[in-house]
Amino acid sequence: MTTTADPRRSVPRTDQVLADPRLRAAAQRLGPDLVKQAVVAAQQRARSGELAPTEVADAAVASLPAQASSTRRVINATGVVLHTNLGRAPLSPAAVDALVDAAGYTDVEFDLADGSRARRGRGTLAALAAAVPAAEAVHVVNNGAAALVLATTALAAGREVVISRGELVEIGDGFRLTDLIESTGARLREVGTTNRTKLADYADAIGPDTGCILKVHPSNFRVEGFTSSVDVGALGGLGVPVVADLGSGLLTRETLLPDEPDADTALRAGADLVTGSGDKLLGGPQAGLLLGRTAVVERLRRHPLARALRVDKLTLAALEATLRGPRTPTWSALHADPDGLRTRCEALAAALEGVVAAEVVPSDGAVGGGGAPGLTLPGWAVALPPAYAAALRTGDPTVVARTERGRCLVDLRCVDPDDDGRLADAIRAVGTATAAPGQA
Ligand SMILES: *Cc1c(COP(=O)(O)O)cnc(C)c1O
C-alpha cells in the first residue's frame, strides 16, 4: 500500500462544485442539467489529471454556453435583406421590447375594464386596420402560407380555385403553393398559359363549382417578353371572391419596389381578400396577414381551422409594435444610402489594416425572401480572402458573409451600424488566429 495521495480523492464532489455562485446563477439561466453535465465533465478531466482539482469549478464555468437556446445570433453580412435561412426580418428595438413585455401574463385575450374575455390581439388588429384603411376587416395567423391555406379552405374546400398558369409558384425548400392549396381539399382550375392569361380565360372557367379566384404574385421569378396577365381590378366583375396573395407584407405602395403589389392598392382595385407575410417586406415577426371585406374575413375567422393557425402573443406584440413603430431595420437596409455604406466599408477596411488585405468593392444587395427577384440594391462590401467566410461563420460574434467570385464579401447593408465595431473585432480575431492566405 502506498501513501501517495490519490488525485481522485481530492476532486471536489458535485454538490460542492454546484454551490459555486457562478454555477448557481448559470443553473437559473441555463437549467440545472446543462450545468451539472459541465461539472461532471470537469470532474472527469480532473480525475484524468488534465486539470488540478481546484480548477474544476472554473473549467465548468468556462465550458458553459452563453445562453439557454442553441440559436446563435449572427451578423448578416450577405447583403440579402430578407434571408430566409437567417430568420428573415430582424425586429426593430420597439418590437423586441414589445415581445419581451408580452412574455409574461398579458391581457392578450382579456378585458381589464370589465374582467371578461376579449378579442384576442385586438390592439394588433386595430394597428393593422389603421395601416390599411381600405381593409374593412383584418385577421392575423401564423404565416403567409397559413393565411393562404385558411383562405382557400374557407372559400373553396371541395370546390375550385381558379388560378393562372403563370402564377403556380414554388416558394422555397420544395414547397409549392399548388400543393398547399390542394392539401385543403380545394381543386385547382388552371387557366391561361405560363406567359399569357386573359380575362376571358378566367371568365370561361367560372361556374357553380368556383370557390374563388386566386391571384398569386410571382414573387421569386419573372416572366419577360410576350406576356399578359389580368389585374385584380378586372377580376372583380366576375361575381366570385377574388383573393390576392401578395407574397410579402407590403401594406402600401413602395416606390423603391415598383413591381411589388401592396395590400392597399389590391383592395382599392377590388380584391375581396389579400393575404400577406409579416416577416417579408413589412419587416416584422413571422405572421400571416389577412385583409379584406368584413364578410370574407369573418368567414375565415370563424372557420375551425383558424384555431389551429392562431398566432402567439409574442408575435401579436411584436407585430403591433412593428405596425405602429418607427422605420424597421428591414426598411433601413432596403433604403441604405450607397455613399453611407461605402464610408462604413472604408472605416472597416481601415480598422483591418495590418491584419488582412481588405478591399472596398461595389456589391449588389438583394431583397431576398423570394421578393423582387429582378431588383439589385447597389451598395458596397469589404472583400476578404475566401478562407474568411468559413472562419467568420464559426467565430464569435458569428458573421455570415457572401462568397462571390472567389472572395469573401462582407456587405454592410444589413449590418446594424452599432455592430460595425463587433464585426471588425470578429474579422480581426480570424486574422490573428489563422495565417489566412492574403494576409497583409
Ligand atoms: C413567401 C410567400 C408565401 C408564404 O409566406 P410565408 O410567410 O413565408 O409563409 C406565400 N405566397 C407567396 C407568393 C410568397 O412569396
**Residue bearing the CA closest to ligand 1, atom 7:** 144
Residue of 370, 363, 161 lying closest to 260 (CA atoms): 370
At residue 121 the predicted structure's pLDDT band, cuts being 50, 70 and 90, is very high
What integer is the mean pLDDT of 266-281?
A: 97
Q: State the greatest distance between any 2 C-alpha atoms of the chain, in Å, as a whole number.
A: 101
pLDDT at 8 over 90: no
Contact by Cβ (8 Å): 225, 258: no
Query: Are β-strands 175-176 and 170-172 bridged in parallel, bridged antiparallel, or unpaired?
Result: antiparallel
Which position has the higher pLDDT, 368 or 383? 383
CATH number for the domain that contains residue 131: 3.40.640.10
Query: What is the grid cell recorded at 239?
Result: 361575381
pLDDT at 370 over 80: no
Domain boundary among 298, 326, 354: 326
Does residue 204 sit in the same domain as residue 115? yes
Does residue 104 sit in the same domain as residue 251? yes
Atom of ligand 1 nearest to the CA of 145: 9
pLDDT of residue 6: 67
69 belongs to a structural domain: no
Query: What is the grid cell recorded at 440?
Result: 497583409
Cell 393562372 found at: 164
According to DSSP, residue 6 is labeled P
pLDDT of residue 435: 56
Does residue 33 sit in the same domain as residue 115? no
- The SS3 call for residue 123 is helix
pLDDT digits (tens, 9 = 90+) for 215-225: 999 888 888 99
Mean of the per-residue pLDDT values of the chain: 94
pLDDT of residue 440: 42
Does residue 389 sit in the same domain as residue 313? no
Q: How far is the CA of 222 from the centre of ligand 1 (A)?
A: 16
What integer is the mean pLDDT of 112-126?
A: 97
What integer is the mean pLDDT of 129-158?
A: 98
Query: What is the grid cell recorded at 423?
Result: 464585426
Containing domain of residue 54, as a range? Answer: 10-63
What integer is the mean pLDDT of 345-370?
A: 95
Crossing angle for the helix pair 21-30 and 56-63, to the nearest 10 degrees? 30
pLDDT of residue 68: 85
pLDDT digits (tens, 9 = 90+) for 39-94: 999 999 999 999 999 999 999 999 998 888 889 999 999 999 999 999 999 999 99
pLDDT of residue 2: 47
pLDDT at 209 over 70: yes
Ligand 1 site residues (CB inside 6 A) read 143-145, 148, 169, 171, 177, 216-217, 219, 245, 247, 277, 370
Q: Which of 83, 141, 219, 246 to mutate to test the pocket of ligand 1 (most atoms within 8 A of CB)?
A: 219
Burial class (CB within 10 angstroms; exposed 0-12, middle 13-18, buried 19+) of 263: buried
Cell 423570394 found at: 370
Contact by Cβ (8 Å): 266, 244: yes
Contact by Cβ (8 Å): 392, 398: yes
Does residue 27 sit in the same domain as residue 156? no
pLDDT of residue 434: 72
pLDDT at 439 over 60: no
Distance (Å, whole) CA 228 – CA 260? 17
Residue of 380, 382, 379, 381 lying closest to 357 (CA atoms): 382
pLDDT at 3 over 50: no
Q: How far is the CA of 221 from the centre of ligand 1 (A)?
A: 13
**Residue bearing the CA closest to ligand 1, atom 5:** 144
Q: What is the DSSP string of 285-341?
A: SS-EEEEE-HHHHHHHHTSHHHHHTPPPHHHHHHHHHHHHSS--HHHHHHT--HHHH
**Residue bearing the CA closest to ligand 1, atom 2:** 247
Does residue 170 sit in the same domain as residue 294? yes
Does residue 317 sit in the same domain as residue 169? yes
Q: How far is CA 295 from the centre of its chain?
A: 31
Contact by Cβ (8 Å): 66, 72: no
CATH number for the domain that contains residue 349: 3.90.1150.180
Helix and strand totals (H; E) in the chain = 19, 17
Beta-carbon-side half-sphere exposure of residue 275 (alpha carbons within 13 Å): 25
pLDDT of residue 174: 87
According to DSSP, residue 268 is labeled H
What integer is the mean pLDDT of 184-195?
A: 96
pLDDT at 261 over 90: yes
pLDDT of residue 191: 98
Does residue 312 sit in the same domain as residue 351? no
pLDDT at 214 over 50: yes
Percent of the residues in the chain that have a pLDDT greater than 70, as a whole number: 97
pLDDT at 100 over 80: yes
pTM over 0.85: yes
Does residue 224 sit in the same domain as residue 356? no
Does residue 141 sit in the same domain as residue 182? yes
Q: How far is the CA of 80 from the centre of ligand 1 (A)?
A: 17
Percent of the residues in the chain that have a pLDDT greater than 90, as a whole number: 88
Does residue 104 sit in the same domain as residue 189? yes
Based on its alpha-carbon atoms, the radius of gyration of the chain, rounded to whole angstroms, reads 27
308 belongs to a structural domain: yes
3 belongs to a structural domain: no
Convert 26-85 into a string of H (helix), E (strand) and C (coil).
Answer: HHHHHCHHHHHHHHHHHHHHHHCCCCCHHHHHHHHHHHCCCCCCCCCCEEEECCEEECHH
Q: How far is the CA of 144 from the centre of ligand 1 (A)?
A: 5
What integer is the mean pLDDT of 341-361?
A: 97
Contact by Cβ (8 Å): 223, 194: yes
pLDDT at 147 over 50: yes
Burial class (CB within 10 angstroms; exposed 0-12, middle 13-18, buried 19+) of 71: exposed
- The tally of domains found in the chain comes to 3
What integer is the mean pLDDT of 370-395?
A: 93
393 belongs to a structural domain: yes
Does residue 119 sit in the same domain as residue 214? yes
According to DSSP, residue 196 is labeled B
pLDDT at 360 over 90: yes
